[in-house]
Amino acid sequence: MDLKDLYRDVILDHNRSPRLFGRLEPADSAADGHNPLCGDRLHVTVRVEGDRVSDLRFEGKGCAISVASASLMCEAVKGRSRADIAHLFDEIHTVLTQHDAPVPEDLGKLAALTGVREFPVRVKCASLCWHTLNAALDRSASTVKTE
């Protein structure tokens, strides 16, 4: 168990200066994420153009892992298609939860989060933002469907 593997420089940097922090107004969709165990709260707002997340922001309070993960996620998914995002989500979920899973090259900076898997109780911190984003995207999808 090496702390440096969990708190890598990229993570500490994104915790100190989170990217795409704030709230889009107006937004096409939004969702709240809450981890009652540690009190982490996130609010994610997204703008969707066609099949793409053209822009997004997050705000909230949480531990370094949850804030850095949300910041890295926002950077990674901005401008990407739903299919790309779903693919990234699968990849990040796999590397967070499977001890020996290889780290895919296309994870980019998100690979900094792989140290979290050595700390099972912290995996939820890293995945909260992804579940929140999914909720926001599901909501926008259903909105699109009903229109």
Residues near other proteins (CB under 8 A) are 1, 3, 6-7, 12, 36-41, 61-65, 119, 121-122, 125
- Residues 3-9: contacts with CB under 8 Å, at least 24 apart: 5/115, 5/118, 6/65, 6/115, 6/116, 6/118, 6/119, 6/122, 7/64, 7/115, 8/112, 8/115
| Closest CB 62 distance from other proteins, rounded Å | 7
90 CB neighbour count, 10 Å cutoff: 11
Token couple for 55? 């822009």
Q: Which is nearer to other proteins, 28 or 40 (CB)?
A: 40
| Closest CB 136 distance from other proteins, rounded Å | 22
Sign of the alpha-carbon torsion through 46, 77, 141, 97: negative
| Closest CB 109 distance from other proteins, rounded Å | 20
Q: Which is nearer to other proteins, 7 or 55 (CB)?
A: 7
Q: Is the separation of the CB atoms in 140 and 48 below 8 Å?
A: yes
| Closest CB 1 distance from other proteins, rounded Å | 5
Q: Which is nearer to other proteins, 62 or 111 (CB)?
A: 62
Q: Is 72 helix (H, G, I), strand (E, B) or coil?
A: helix
Q: Which is nearer to other proteins, 78 or 122 (CB)?
A: 122
